[in-house]
Structure 1
Amino acid sequence: MNVIPRALVVGEALVDVTRKPDGTVAEHPGGSPLNVAVTMARQGIDTTLATQVGDDRFGDLIRAHLDASGVTLVNVGPPAPTASATAALDARGAATYEFDLRWDPEQLPDPSGFDLVHVGSIGAWMAPGADTVAEFVRRAHAQGVPVGFDPNIRPALAPSADVLRRQVFDLASVSRFVKLSDEDAEVLADEDSDVFSVLRELAGSGPAITALTRGGESALLTSTDQHVEVRVPQVKVADTIGAGDTWMGTLLAELLRHDWVNRSSFSADDLRRLGQAAVSAAAITVSRPGADPPWHGEFLPH
Structure 2
Amino acid sequence: MSPRALVVGEALVDVTRTPDGAVAEHPGGSPLNVAVTMGRQGIDTTLAAQVGDDHFGALIRDHLDRSGVTLLDVGPSGSTASATAMIDAGGAATYEFDLHWEPDHLPDPADFDLVHVGSIGAWMEPGANAVADLVRRAHAQGQAVGFDPNIRPTLGPPVPVLRQRVFDLAASSRFVKLSDEDASVLADGSGDPESVLGSLATAGPALAAMTRGDDSVVLCSGDHEVEVPVPTVSVADTIGAGDTWMGTLLAELVRQGWVDRTEFSADELRELGEAAVRASAITVSRPGADPPWRRELL
- Fold conserved (TM > 0.5)? yes
In the TM superposition, what is the alpha-carbon distance from 1:145 to its structure 2 partner?
1.0
Whole-angstrom distance in 2 between the partners of 1:245 and 1:32: 6
The residue type paired with residue 212 of structure 1 is M
Where in structure 1 are there 5+ consecutive unaligned residues? none
TM-score by length of 1: 0.94
* Shift in CA distance, 130/239, structure 1 to aligned 2, threshold 3 Å: same
For residues 165-214 of structure 1, the C-alpha deviation after alignment (integer angstroms, 9 at most, x for no partner) is: 00000000000000000110010003331100000000010000000001
Is residue 203–residue 222 contact of structure 1 (8 Å, CA) maintained in 2? yes
* Shift in CA distance, 23/209, structure 1 to aligned 2, threshold 3 Å: farther
Secondary structure of the residue that 1:112 maps to in structure 2?
helix
Whole-angstrom distance in 1 between the partners of 2:10 and 2:95: 15
The residue type paired with residue 279 of structure 1 is V
Whole-angstrom distance in 2 between the partners of 1:239 and 1:220: 22
In the TM superposition, what is the alpha-carbon distance from 1:284 to its structure 2 partner?
0.5
Which residue number corresponds to residue 104 of structure 2? 106
Whole-angstrom distance in 2 between the partners of 1:68 and 1:138: 32
Which residue number corresponds to residue 77 of structure 1? 75
For residues 140-159 of structure 1, the C-alpha deviation after alignment (integer angstroms, 9 at most, x for no partner) is: 11111100000000111010
The residue type paired with residue 51 of structure 1 is A
Which residue number corresponds to residue 244 of structure 2? 246
What are the equivalent positions in structure 2 for 1:118-129 lying under 5 Å apart?
118-129=116-127
What are the equivalent positions in structure 2 for 1:1-302 lying under 5 Å apart?
3-19=1-17, 24-87=22-85, 97-300=95-298
In the TM superposition, what is the alpha-carbon distance from 1:25 to its structure 2 partner?
3.0
In the TM superposition, what is the alpha-carbon distance from 1:222 to its structure 2 partner?
0.4
Secondary structure of the residue that 2:146 maps to in structure 1?
strand
For residues 201-248 of structure 1, the C-alpha deviation after alignment (integer angstroms, 9 at most, x for no partner) is: 000100000000011111100001100000111111111110000000
The residue type paired with residue 223 of structure 1 is S
Whole-angstrom distance in 1 between the partners of 2:219 and 2:93: 25
* Shift in CA distance, 296/122, structure 1 to aligned 2, threshold 3 Å: same
Q: Percent of pairs identical after alignment?
A: 74
Secondary structure of the residue that 1:298 maps to in structure 2?
helix
Secondary structure of the residue that 1:293 maps to in structure 2?
coil
Whole-angstrom distance in 2 between the partners of 1:88 and 1:220: 34
For residues 41-66 of structure 1, the C-alpha deviation after alignment (integer angstroms, 9 at most, x for no partner) is: 10010000000000100000000000
Whole-angstrom distance in 2 between the partners of 1:56 and 1:96: 25
* Shift in CA distance, 21/256, structure 1 to aligned 2, threshold 3 Å: farther
Where in structure 2 are there 5+ consecutive unaligned residues? none
The residue type paired with residue 242 of structure 2 is G
Is residue 95–residue 239 contact of structure 1 (8 Å, CA) maintained in 2? no
Whole-angstrom distance in 2 between the partners of 1:292 and 1:85: 17
Whole-angstrom distance in 2 between the partners of 1:180 and 1:82: 26
